[in-house]
Amino acid sequence: MYVAVKGGEAAIDNAHRLLAEARRGDPAVPELSVAQIREQMALLVDRVMTEGSLYDPDLAALALKQARGDVVEAVFLVRAYRTTLSRFGASVPVDTGQMAVARRVSATFKDLPGGQVLGPTFDYTHRLIDFALAAESEIEPAAEADPRADAAICPRVTDLLAQDGLIEASPPDAGAPVGDLTREPVDYPADRALRLQALARGDEGFVLGLAYSTQRGFGRTHPFVGEIRVGDVAVEFVPEELGFAVPLGRVRLTECQMVNQFKGSGTAPPQFTRGYGLSFGQSERKAMAMALVDRALRAEELGEPVVSPAQDQEFVLAHCDSLQATGFVEHLKLPHYVDFQAELELVRRLRAEFERKSESVEMQEAAE
């Protein structure tokens, strides 16, 4: 029998009013503006854009304000918003080789054409709490220098290695349609393009944990950071009514080229293989983790045994989305009164049977 449960409307309304007040916090403390979040919590905004799978810094900042800083809740709000919009189409593929680089480092080549530039980074900071930040303070203006002659041209590190055939080439663009997991459910096995889409919007913590597992031996891939670059890239779109590429503006992206060992096979000579990561904003940890997991998921293609979680594409793709994960985990707190009542009845009946059996065994033993 299905029993509908009603009630709680007033409690829900009042809970939401209470939420609004809790969100605001102490009214004696000035309220945060969306622009303040966008400018001063920029990496958090980048994470919400990446996992919300929608590049819009103001919207991500607003979602964070509404979500009281809860990343997964903010991702939920951004994803819900995008469902209200129609899609004009797909962009021309962005050319990260033309990026206006704000940061670029390589762990494999010291002397890169274009140079290594650190940009705004936490690397090499001492990770000591800076109590001076607790007070509003003047900051020293950033240093400036004349860019060197080669600064405008930054070839990808992987292009340098590719010249000698020491590293595999990127999979060629045969013009085949590109799968989109927001339009059709994922069919396994999923191709690399679809896997990268899932990883790009996947939860940073989950993808990071999987990436770490490959380093600790669960699907080892012997990685080196060939290159990480962060910077602004032009996005273009070809509207049907115009028939040429219209520049939409620039987005900040982070790209990671991971270079991995490969001992070769019967048909392929030994060469370096690659993993690739690309994410919105400045999000190096995410791009690196994505590249490591991308490479791990290529195990089957490269003739490696598939034995670890990070190599199992159904395990990775089906569980990396924070919104899907939170939906299923958090639904457990919603009323399950009827389900539970049924379970309770069952357990009572089983216990009664158990007791009846024990009693009859005791009686038998006593009789013998």
Partner 1 sequence: MTPNPAEPEPGTAARQAVMALCADASRQELQAVLARLDVPPAEDLRAPETGLVMATGRIGGDGRPFHVGEVSVTRAAIRLADGATGFAYHLGRDRTKARLAAILDALWQEPARRTGVEAALAEAAARAEAERRQAARRTAATRVEFLTVARGED
Q: Report 56-85 residues binding partner 1 (CB under 8 A).
A: 56, 58-59, 82, 85
Q: Return all residues near 204 (Cβ < 8 A) that are at least 6 apart.
A: 47, 50, 51, 283, 285, 286, 289
Fill in the DSSP letter of residue 244. Answer: S
Candidate list 34, 280, 285, 289; residue touching partner 1; CB under 8 A: 280
In this structure, the chain runs to a length of: 368
- 290 contributes a contact to partner 1 by CB under 8 A: no
Residue 134 Cβ vs partner 1, minimum distance, rounded to whole Å: 26
Spatial distance between the Cα atoms of 170 and 91, rounded to a whole number of angstroms: 20
Among 173, 339, 365, 368, binds partner 1 (CB under 8 A): 173
Whether residue 310 contacts residue 293, with contact meaning beta carbons closer than 8 Å, is answered with: yes
Does residue 158 bind partner 1 (CB under 8 A)?
A: yes
Q: Tell me which stretch binds partner 1 (CB under 8 A): 38-46, 64-72, 165-173, 352-360.
A: 165-173
Can residue 148 be called a binding residue for partner 1 (CB under 8 A)?
yes
Residues 235-264 that bind partner 1 (CB under 8 A): 235-251, 253, 255, 257
- Binding piece for partner 1, criterion CB under 8 A, among 164-172, 204-212, 313-321, 332-340: 164-172
* One of 8, 25, 93, 264 touching partner 1 (CB under 8 A): 93
Within 13-42, the residues that bind partner 1 by CB under 8 A are none
CA–CA distance, 64 with 42 (Å, rounded to integer): 11
Among 113, 171, 269, 303, binds partner 1 (CB under 8 A): 171
d(CA 182, CA 83): 10
Report if residue 186 touches partner 1, rule: CB under 8 A: no
Shortest Å, Cβ 115 to partner 1: 5
Q: Can residue 273 be called a binding residue for partner 1 (CB under 8 A)?
A: no
- Judge whether 199 and 191 are in contact, CB under 8 Å: no
Token representation of residue 172: 């060629």
Cα distances (angstroms) measured from residue 160 to each of 95, 105, 119: 17, 15, 23
> 313: Cβ–Cβ under 8 A, 6 or more apart, which residues?
188, 189, 190, 195, 297
Q: Residue 268, Cβ neighbours under 10 Å: how many?
A: 13
Q: In whole angstroms, how close is the CB of 321 to partner 1 at the nearest point?
A: 13
Q: Does 7 bind partner 1 (CB under 8 A)?
A: no
Restricted to residues 322-341, the positions that interact with partner 1 (CB under 8 A) are none
- Closest CB to partner 1 among residues 25, 239: 239
Stretch that binds partner 1, among 170-178, 202-210, 316-324, 353-361 (CB under 8 A): 170-178
146 binds partner 1 (CB under 8 A): yes
Q: Nearest approach, Cβ of 243 to partner 1 (angstroms)?
A: 4
User: Shortest distance, CB of residue 139 to partner 1, whole angstroms?
Assistant: 13
Q: Does position 192 bind partner 1 by CB under 8 A?
A: yes
Q: Which is nearer to partner 1, 20 or 169 (CB)?
A: 169
98 to 117, contacts with partner 1 by CB under 8 A? 100-103, 110-111, 115-117
At 126 the three-state DSSP class reads coil
Find out whether 321 and 314 touch, Cβ atoms under 8 Å.
no
Q: Interface with partner 1 includes 194 (CB under 8 A)?
A: yes
Q: How far is the CB of 36 from partner 1 (least distance, A)?
A: 19
- Which tokens is 41 given? 């919590």
Structure tokens, 262: 């490969």
350 phi, psi to nearest 5 deg: -65, -40
Residues β-bridged to residue 235? 249
Closer residue to partner 1, CB minimum distance, 182 or 341:
182
Beta-sheet pairing, 273-280 with 246-260: antiparallel
CB of 201 to partner 1, least distance (A): 6
The DSSP letter of residue 167 is B
Backbone angles phi, psi at 22, to 5 degrees: -65, -35
**196 touching partner 1, by CB under 8 A:** yes
